[in-house]
Amino acid sequence: MKYIVVAFWSVVLGNVLGFIVGQLSQQIFNPLKVTIVWLIIGELAAILITHISQSANSDETKKTSEK
């Protein structure tokens, strides 16, 4: 469920950002490309943050059990 929410919000906010940047730089806004790019970036960020947090928690558990 977490990854579905991340996908939704990364697409919505990515399209808003893409539209604004496209207008400011006078470029053509292509919503399909922006959606694909931000979907990949959002999902990778969610997966990496989860993985890094889990490994940090396991390191803290090892340190406290060694003391």
Phi, psi dihedral angles at 66 (to 5 degrees): -80, -25
- Mean per-residue pLDDT of the chain: 89
- CB of 18 closer than 8 Å to CB of 29: yes
Poorest-pLDDT segment among 18-22, 34-38, 62-66: 62-66
Using the Cα atoms of residue 54, residue 55, residue 58 and residue 64 in order, give the sign of their dihedral.
negative
pTM for the model stands at 0.73
Question: E strands along 1-67, which residues?
Answer: none
